[in-house]
Amino acid sequence: MEITRAHLVEAKRQLDSTIHKLKETVKTLEGKENPNRYKSQITLAKRRIEAFELSVYLIEREIRNLSEKNK
């Protein structure tokens, strides 16, 4: 599969959307009456956020690399 700039941009868009939703989920769970009840779910969501943010960083780096190659 050839990875194009368009593929990378769309993947980044999807990851950004997922990150936003996960952050909202964390806020909701932490705002519950007894957030300790949701500790494992909060931890999982935060770990996923970190992983997705790393993915976004790498995608952005690849987009920059592709842009530099096309100059």
The answer to whether residue 71 scores a pLDDT higher than 80 is no
pTM: 0.90
The predicted-structure confidence for 11-62, as pLDDT tens digits, reads as follows 999 999 999 999 999 999 999 999 999 999 999 999 999 999 999 999 999 9
Structure confidence at residue 16 (pLDDT):
98
Question: b vs e for 21-57, b when ≥16 Cβ sit within 10 Å of the residue's Cβ?
Answer: ebeebbeeeeeeeeeeebeeebeebeeebeebeeebe
Residue 22: both structure tokens together? 């996960």
- Range of 63's domain? 5-69
Report how far residue 49's alpha carbon sits from residue 46's, in angstroms, rounded to the nearest whole number: 5
Tokens linked to 6:
């368009």
Instruction: Provide the number of structural domains found in the chain.
Output: 1
Looking at the predicted structure, is the pLDDT value of residue 68 above 90?
Answer: no
Other Cβ atoms less than 10 A from the Cβ of 71: the count is 4
